[in-house]
Structure 1
Amino acid sequence: MEAPNQQSQTILVVDGDVITRSVISDYLRHCGYRVIEAHDAREAQQALNHAEFAVDTILCDVDLPGNMNGFQLSKWVRENKPEVKVVLSAAVERTASAAGDLCEEGPHLAKPYEPATVVDHIRRLKGGS
């Protein structure tokens, strides 16, 4: 698998479902990305504020456990970490489309998604091929 300049990119994967989070995180690592995992928005905020490497992109589920959902986390990121790009995902296409409206260039994914589709979204968002 081709991985140009991806080793320097850090992706934060935020998903309350450990299986989904683990599968996509493992795939992203296999593609050469650094990956940080978070179970909920609180963990994501902590990772963004204290990560060893600066986070470039967040892949975040809309339906997160806890007091903050993916929409709210996306808004927090835009206000506090505007340099970080966000891709929201949701189990319902209509929700995923609404999520895309909150993000730059409208990136969104409807679950279930193919891991390669996630990488394509990240590459396009970061201006890659």
Structure 2
Amino acid sequence: MTKILIVEDEDKVRKMYHTMLKNEGFEVLDAPDAIQASCILNKEPVDIMLLDIKMPQVYGSIFYDMMQRSYKKVKVIVASVYPVDEQKKMIEGAADYYDKAQGLDLLLEKIKKAERSIKQQKSILVIDDEPRIRKVYRHYLEEYGYRIIEAHDGNAGLDILRKSNEVALVILDLAMPKQSGFEIYEQIKKEFPGIKILVASVFNQNDQQFFLPNADEYYDKSEDAAGLVKKIEKLIYTDSPA
């Protein structure tokens, strides 16, 4: 269930939003100011936030800048009495903007649009026997909005693929126990030919390409993480192999 946090200092407005969203089947939390909202974010995973601008203690624009450091995955819809054009100047980069004079139907439409975008986020399956490496991938890639699924070996990875249709890309290590990445690569391509595979190994890219000439992309673990993200985005958002 999608969880929404309403950050609004006016009791009447906050309760109105809460009732509407509850009736639409959302899980709803609310806070009258940025400080209480911050406490909720520290305890609860939140998908979407409705954020007022003019609030006591801390303005919504300041709170937005603060939360972007730690809660980048939360979709923020600015909801204010200011016209939308002014809202965009005060808070840049929000998922959407809503003028309170526009009516609740439009607000609900914007919320459902944000919810659809969350559900369309791409999942990446990381198959690597080293917990430290998996942790690094997760930490870095989740910052870019990807959902990370981990598998400690090839068999576990195949089990996940057989049970899920959400995986868009596999990051595959080569040197692993039980079955090597080479064997797992062949099995994935046989069972799931539409899934892109990015080979990630301590071997340099030329060696990786020599061993697996038909992989979609190659990544040397000594490269920087920014290079990995570029390769992932190229694979996921284009139809042809890199």
Q: If the length of structure 1 is used for normalisation, what is the TM-score?
A: 0.83
- Given that 1:74 and 1:102 are in contact with CA atoms closer than 8 Å, whether structure 2 keeps it comes out as no
- One-letter amino acid matched to 2:169: T
Asked if 1:95 corresponds to 2:201, the answer is no
> Partner residue of 1:74?
185
Measured against aligned partners, the alpha-carbon deviations of 1:92-129 in whole angstroms (never above 9, x if no partner) come to: 2143232551313xx1011223222111111111235x
- Given that 2:209 and 2:215 are in contact with CA atoms closer than 8 Å, whether structure 1 keeps it comes out as no
> Partner residue of 2:174?
62
- Given that 1:99 and 1:108 are in contact with CA atoms closer than 8 Å, whether structure 2 keeps it comes out as no
List gaps (5 residues or longer) in structure 2: 1-67, 74-116
What is the rounded CA distance, in whole Å, between the counterparts of 1:99 and 1:34 in structure 2?
A: 29
What is the rounded CA distance, in whole Å, between the counterparts of 1:99 and 1:27 in structure 2?
A: 27
Query: Which residue of 84, 89, 92 maps to 2:195?
Result: 84
- One-letter amino acid matched to 2:167: V
What is the rounded CA distance, in whole Å, between the counterparts of 2:130 and 2:223 in structure 1?
A: 14
Asked if 1:31 corresponds to 2:144, the answer is yes
Matches for 1:97-116 after TM superposition, within 5 Å: 97-99=209-211, 101-104=213-216, 107-116=217-226
What is the rounded CA distance, in whole Å, between the counterparts of 2:167 and 2:196 in structure 1?
A: 9
Provide the aligned C-alpha RMSD in A: 2.3
List gaps (5 residues or longer) in structure 1: none
- One-letter amino acid matched to 1:77: I
- Given that 2:182 and 2:212 are in contact with CA atoms closer than 8 Å, whether structure 1 keeps it comes out as no
- Given that 1:10 and 1:35 are in contact with CA atoms closer than 8 Å, whether structure 2 keeps it comes out as yes
- Given that 1:87 and 1:103 are in contact with CA atoms closer than 8 Å, whether structure 2 keeps it comes out as yes
Asked if 1:20 corresponds to 2:156, the answer is no
What is the rounded CA distance, in whole Å, between the counterparts of 2:134 and 2:124 in structure 1?
A: 12
Aligned length: 123
Per the alignment, in what secondary structure is the counterpart of residue 175 of structure 2?
Answer: coil
Q: Which has the higher contact order (CA 8 A, sep 6+)?
A: 1
- Given that 1:10 and 1:54 are in contact with CA atoms closer than 8 Å, whether structure 2 keeps it comes out as yes
- Given that 1:62 and 1:99 are in contact with CA atoms closer than 8 Å, whether structure 2 keeps it comes out as no
What is the rounded CA distance, in whole Å, between the counterparts of 2:224 and 2:137 in structure 1?
A: 9
Query: Which residue of 123, 134, 142 maps to 1:10?
Result: 123
> Partner residue of 2:106?
none
